[in-house]
Each structure stands twice: as C-alpha cells, then as structure tokens.
C-alpha cells in the first residue's frame, strides 16, 4: 500500500472571519429552503381545500 493511498486530504482550517461567513451562508441556505418548503406546503393545503370544496 502506498502512503498516498492511506493519507487523507484535509481542508485548511478557516480563519474566524471566514468561518463566520461560511456559517452565515449556510444559515441563509437553510432559511431559503425552509421558506420554499413552507410555501409548497401552503400551496398544497390550499389546493386540497379547493379540491374538497369542489367535491
């Protein structure tokens, strides 16, 4: 086995400012996904309500 095969490549540790920015970007992404999911949920609920009113 070669040394190259067993060593892992790791990313350099982020500086505190960079880590904070990365965390904020991740939080924004999670929030956007949550909003998108909530809108889809509300749209589905409205569609089900409209369908129930028709039948």
Look at the alpha carbons of 41, 46, 52, 55 in this order and tell me if their dihedral is positive or negative. negative
- Residue 11 CA, chain-centre distance (Å), reads 21
What's residue 2's pLDDT?
66
Residue 32 is assigned to a structural domain of this protein = yes
Q: How many domains does the structure of the chain reveal?
A: 1
Residue 4, domain member (yes or no): no
* Cα distance between residue 14 and residue 24, in whole Å: 14
pLDDT of residue 6: 66
At residue 12, the pLDDT reads: 80
Q: What is the pLDDT of residues 1-55, one digit of tens each?
A: 566 666 666 678 899 999 999 999 999 999 999 999 999 999 999 999 999 998 7
Residue at 6 is within a domain = no
- Within a domain: 1: no
pTM score, two decimals?
0.65
- How far apart, in whole angstroms, are the C-alpha atoms of residue 28 and residue 34? 10
């Amino acid at each position: 086995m070669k040394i190259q095969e067993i060593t892992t490549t790791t990313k350099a540790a982020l500086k505190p400012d960079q880590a904070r920015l990365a965390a904020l970007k991740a939080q924004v992404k999670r929030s956007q996904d949550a909003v998108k999911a909530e809108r889809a949920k509300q749209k589905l609920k409205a569609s089900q309500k409209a369908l129930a009113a028709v039948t």
